[in-house]
Homo-oligomer: A and B are copies of this chain.
Amino acid sequence: MRATKARPVTSNAGRGAFELNQDAVRISNVVATRQATRSDELRDHLEEMILDGRLAPGERLDEMELSRRFGLSRTPVREAIKSLLAIGLIETRGRQGTHVALLSIPAIIEMFDVMASLEGLCAKLAARRATPTERAAMRAVHEELVKAYEAGDPVNFYKINQQFHDLLYEAAHTHFIAEQTIQLRRRIGAYRLRATYQPGRMLGTLAEHVRIMDSIDAGDPDAAQKAASDHVQLLGDQLTDFISSLPPRLNLSQ
């Protein structure tokens, strides 16, 4: 069948099997909003699937199967895979196809070390640069987080927690550091998800957030840096403990 014949729609409306509207280029520094290509859509879609666990670490990504599933040719599929490969979210084993990245525990520990450093940097900058509005926004989101905790809603807690951290990056008025941090968060995401609901973690998170906000409000960059860094480090410790405690079969640490 011919290229265009296959496509039901050629305009921008209702583009594919899955809906993802146009997006600003996120990975690079470009600001301009551009038409999302099928390749871009698929990249984002796959990323989302990896992050929310629909694609488990180690799972195979078959080009043909993805083509069929999303009604695309192999070209955009391959390009999406190339992008995710470069980011490190998926990996290739020679000619045995590509798989969702399988992280070893040492690798995860290192990632959290870096994550802690980056978050610390953001907090440090936020302590110097955050506007009153931004500080207030963090407090407000934190209130939401408390509510989610009190309601015993871990799913919401997870989402709002991300919002809190996004606000922190914003308050730091950075571009590159925030981007780098978010990218790393994505890369760990598949694992992080599996350990969110650890006993005591939510309560710990709340206390640590308060410490971060207080340091920022006090205008103490070093304290803020340490608070944010410790916060991430604690999460990392708990996560690696959790993974280590799993039975070897489910351990995921290859």
Chain B residues with CB below 8 A from A95, complex form: 34-35
**For the complex formed by this chain, how many copies does it contain in all?**
2
Chain B residues with CB below 8 A from A93, complex form: 30, 32, 34
Interface status of A69 (Cβ within 8 A of chain B): no
Nearest-neighbour CB distance to chain B for A81, whole angstroms, equals 9
Query: What separation, in Å, do the CA atoms of A28 and B88 have in the docked complex?
Result: 5
Q: How many residues of A contact B (CB 8 A)?
A: 44
The answer to whether A91 and B29 touch across the interface, beta carbons within 8 angstroms, is yes
Chain B residues with CB below 8 A from A79, complex form: 78-79, 82
Closest to A113 in B: B121
Given the known A-B contacts A78-B79, A94-B34, A121-B117, are A28 and B110 also in contact in the complex, defined by CB atoms under 8 Å? no
Interface status of A83 (Cβ within 8 A of chain B): yes
The answer to whether A176 and B110 touch across the interface, beta carbons within 8 angstroms, is yes
Nearest-neighbour CB distance to chain B for A69, whole angstroms, equals 21
Interface status of A223 (Cβ within 8 A of chain B): no
Query: What separation, in Å, do the CA atoms of A242 and B61 have in the docked complex?
Result: 46
Query: What separation, in Å, do the CA atoms of A101 and B176 have in the docked complex?
Result: 13
The answer to whether B28 and A91 touch across the interface, beta carbons within 8 angstroms, is yes
Interface status of A87 (Cβ within 8 A of chain B): yes
Interface status of A92 (Cβ within 8 A of chain B): yes
Interface status of A175 (Cβ within 8 A of chain B): yes
Nearest-neighbour CB distance to chain B for A179, whole angstroms, equals 8
19 intermolecular pairs with C-beta atoms under 8 Å apart? A29-B88, A29-B103, A29-B107, A30-B92, A30-B93, A32-B93, A34-B93, A34-B94, A35-B95, A79-B79, A83-B85, A86-B87, A107-B175, A107-B176, A110-B175, A110-B176, A113-B121, A114-B121, A117-B121
Spell out A's residues near B (CB within 8 Å): 25, 27-30, 32, 34-35, 39, 75, 78-79, 82-88, 90-95, 101-104, 106-107, 110-111, 113-114, 117-118, 120-121, 174-177, 180
The 6 tightest CB contacts between A and B, nearest first, are A86-B86, A28-B91, A110-B176, A34-B94, A117-B117, A83-B86
